[in-house]
Amino acid sequence: MPFKWSAVRVSEAMDEVERQINLAEAFLVEAKVKVTEARKIANLPQYLDDRLIRLITQIERIDYVKDAVMGIRKAIPDGALETERDRIKYGSQQTLIG
């Protein structure tokens, strides 16, 4: 039974999302380095260090975003991509039985 939604379009959208995440990740790694350096400031009050630690934790949540993308990919039924790609490649011709 054919799907009414496009598995290929969902997969392509996740490809685009992953590209954007990869671009952002380099900046987030650099931000985490800078926050870690800020934690080394002499005589930093504990309440500020706590906030910096929370900021690092928030930056690390990029892994949750990656996991969400993988979850979407895994939710695409097995064979749906291949079936749709074949249909696009070869067209949707009806079989003649004679």
> Residue 64: its pLDDT value, please?
94
Please report, as a single letter, which amino acid is at residue 86.
Answer: D
Answer yes or no: is pLDDT of 3 > 80.
no
**Structural domain spans, the chain:** 7-90
Q: Over the stretch 25-63, which tens digit does the pLDDT of each residue have? A: 999 999 999 999 999 999 999 999 999 999 999 999 999
77 pLDDT above the threshold of 70 = yes
Pick from 1, 12, 17: which is nearest to 85 by CA? Answer: 12
Which residue is it, tokens 């993988």? Answer: 70
Structure pTM? Answer: 0.72
